[in-house]
Amino acid sequence: IGMTTRGVVVFYSCLVACCCEGRPTGVWRRLRAGSSLEFGNADGLLSSRTPQNRALKATSTAIRDLNLCVPRSLRAGTSQTDSGKHSRVKRVLVFGGTGRVGGSTIEWLRKMAAEGDFALEIAVAGRNKRRFDALQRVAEGSAVPNTKLSFVELDFTDSLAMREAISYEASSGKAWDLVIHTAGPFQRKKENEVLDACLEAGVAYVDVCDDTELALSAKRKGDAAAKAKDIPVLISTGIWPGVSALMAKKVVQAMEREMGTKPTHLDMNFFTAGTGGAGATILSATFLLLCEPVRVMLDGQQRTLKPWTSNQIIDFGSRVGKKPTYLLDQPEVVMCGKYLGVPNVESRFGTAPDAWNQLFKAIAILPANLLSNRDLMQKFAVFSLPIVRLVDSLVGSTNAMRVDATLEGEPGRRFSSLIVHDSLSSCVGQATAAFAMEVLEGRVASGVQFPVELKDDNVDHILARVKDDAIDWKVP
């Protein structure tokens, strides 16, 4: 994409040096000692020159990646109290279940369901049987009862196979209770075929769509059909978008209670150390977002601004500190403007080390036809994974979200919400599972809804589940 391989390697080498300055970690000592770092390799710190090492790497990478997403209470060596035999069984199909977000969602869903009154049968739809095997080994190493995992090998580019996977079970008398769609990236997609298939089959649906136009299209095209089939559909769940919209709803309601009026401004800011332990799909989605005009609400009207501009310094609390954030398109901006009635809404994101922010700023000025190429961005993300993994191991994977509601003319009155988790890849699955549980427990009305539209009791249930594992929590 305009950079020579040598230039990219030089940049990444400087990035590692910046991260490691003053921090002679074991990984850095290995690199100085001459260990190989192979770009394009899923791990990067273990040579793949021999069949034995390739096999060892395949297994260790799968187990490591999945454990990054698994809640602490479910990792091997811990135990859960068996809640006894459940009288009901809920059947869930997870698209993208072998990926980072999908794997994390499954593990959290197993934990949450074990605390409820039904058993789970989860079918994992994906292309990577090796990663499913690793996920199953992790599941077998935990003590969560009453869950069963199975694998459905599926290429998501095969529309017919995808529709058959959803509709066959419905026609066989063993219908899915829920389909969860985590197979991104969602950017630059014209249609959501998984949602369309669920609407045709009459199956409840939850996704983690982070593309504004695709999310709005789902509401516009699918709401009437979902109500006609009497099925709930939740669009753009997860940590952000998703829980962040619930945070916005809480601060708006807090101002209304105390001041008797809605805020005039809503500022949403997000920070993730490194990539948050994310995989290639989330990294690719970030690259694709850098070519998306940033939708903001200004005086009640939707406007667009350039991505990764207008930076601010945001205080994310004592666990994270002050960090720079930059304009980035997020679906909840338009949704909060419309459904919460706030005339001015903006969303920003930043990462660490700051060299990542500077890289994103440089990428954002590249020609749009390059940045909007899904295949190219996916390849670039895969190419970048080894150094991304290394940087993540040095800076951590903390995820922080802050939402502020203010009233014009009242600069001293600010209503804020702050949530921090120590791992993005874990908390995004935790949040997705929390939304899914609301559907499985029958508490969500039929129709296509965004998180911000959910009733107050839904919001409270979801936030209570997301609070588990949080390292900082300030929600009104």
> CA nearest 197: which of 225, 162, 229?
162
Residue 405 lies in a domain: no
228 falls within a domain: yes
Distance CA 199, CA 204 (A): 8
Query: Which of 38-47, 209-218, 466-475 comes out lowest in average pLDDT?
Result: 38-47
Range of the domain at 211: 82-239+426-470
For residue 114, what pLDDT is reported?
87
Question: Sign of the C-alpha dihedral, residues 394, 468, 402, 95?
Answer: positive
Domains identified in the chain, total number: 1
What is the percent of the chain where pLDDT is above 70? 78
pLDDT number for residue 262: 96
Of 67-71, 443-447, 472-476, the one with minimum mean pLDDT is 67-71
Decide if pLDDT at 335 tops 90: yes
- The 10 Å CB-count burial string (b at 16+, else e) for 262-283 is bbbbbbbbbbbbbbbbbbbbbb
- Cα–Cα nearest to 165, from 233, 93, 251: 93
392 exposed, middle or buried (CB, 10 Å; 0-12, 13-18, 19+)? buried
pLDDT band at 173 (very low <50, low <70, confident <90, very high): low
Look at 126 and 227; give whichever has higher pLDDT.
Answer: 227
Specify whether the CB–CB gap between 297 and 248 falls below 8 A: no
- Cα dihedral sign for 374, 375, 379, 382? positive
The strand ranges marked E within 353-440 are 399-407, 410-421
Label the pairing between strands 205-207 and 178-181: parallel
440 inside domain: yes
User: Residues 207, 194: contact at Cβ < 8 Å?
Assistant: yes
* Region of poorest pLDDT, from 31-35, 217-221, 235-239, 431-435: 31-35
Q: Encoding tokens for residue 392? A: 């993540």
Structure confidence at residue 191 (pLDDT): 92
Q: Are 352 and 273 in contact (CB under 8 A)?
A: yes
- Tell me whether residue 208 is in a domain: yes
Give the pLDDT confidence score for residue 355 in this predicted structure: 87
First CA to last CA distance, the chain: 45
Residues 6 or more apart whose Cβ sits within 8 Å of residue 34: none
Residue 146 has pLDDT above 90, yes or no: no
pLDDT at 4: 42
For residue 263, say if its preceding peptide bond is cis, omega within 30 degrees of 0.
no
Name residues whose C-beta falls within 8 Å of residue 83's C-beta, 6 or more positions apart in sequence. 114, 115, 145, 146
Q: Is 213 domain-assigned?
A: yes
With residue 271 as reference, give the H or E element that holds it: strand 265-273
Give the whole-number percent of the chain exceeding pLDDT 90: 56
Distance between CA atoms of 322 and 31, rounded to whole angstroms?
Answer: 31
The Cβ-side half-sphere exposure at 153, using a 13 Å CA radius, reads 4
- Predicted confidence (pLDDT) per residue in 58-83, tens digit: 434 443 444 444 454 444 333 333 43
CA angle 132, 136, 140 (to 5 degrees): 175
Q: Do 192 and 168 meet the contact criterion of CB atoms below 8 Å apart?
A: no
| Rounded CA separation 184/100 (Å) | 11
The CATH number for 176's domain is 3.40.50.720
Per the domain annotation, does 101 fall within a domain?
Answer: yes
For the chain, the average pLDDT equals 82
Annotate 169-184 with DSSP letters as a single string.
Answer: HHHTT---SEEEE---
Counting every residue, how long is the chain? Answer: 476
Q: What is the pLDDT confidence band of residue 189, given thresholds at 50, 70 and 90?
A: confident
Q: Please give the pLDDT value at position 128.
A: 83
What is the token pair recorded at 231?
A: 């099925």
User: For 85-95, how does the pLDDT look when each residue is reduced to its tens digit (9 = 90+)?
Assistant: 555 899 999 99
pLDDT score for 393: 77
Give the model's confidence band at 253: pLDDT under 50 very low, under 70 low, under 90 confident, else very high: very high
Q: What's the pTM?
A: 0.81
Mean pLDDT of 291-318: 96
Contact between 409 and 433 (Cβ < 8 Å): no
Give the 3-state secondary structure percentages of the chain, helix then strand then coil, rounded to 5: 45, 20, 30
Residue 365 lies in a domain: no
Task: Write phi, then psi, for 468 (nearest 5 degrees).
Answer: -60, 130
Q: Which residue has the higher pLDDT, 138 or 175?
A: 175
**Radius of gyration (C-alpha) of the chain in whole angstroms:** 22
Question: 270 is written with which tokens?
Answer: 């997000």
Distance of CA 65 to the CA centre of its chain: 15
15 pLDDT more than 90: no
282-291: average pLDDT: 72
Beta-sheet strands, E only, within 294-386? 294-298, 301-305, 312-315, 322-327, 344-352
In this structure, is residue 106 part of a structural domain? Answer: yes
* pLDDT average, residue stretch 195-199: 97
**What is the structure's pLDDT at 235?**
99
Which of 186-195, 251-260, 372-381 has the highest average model confidence (pLDDT)?
Answer: 251-260
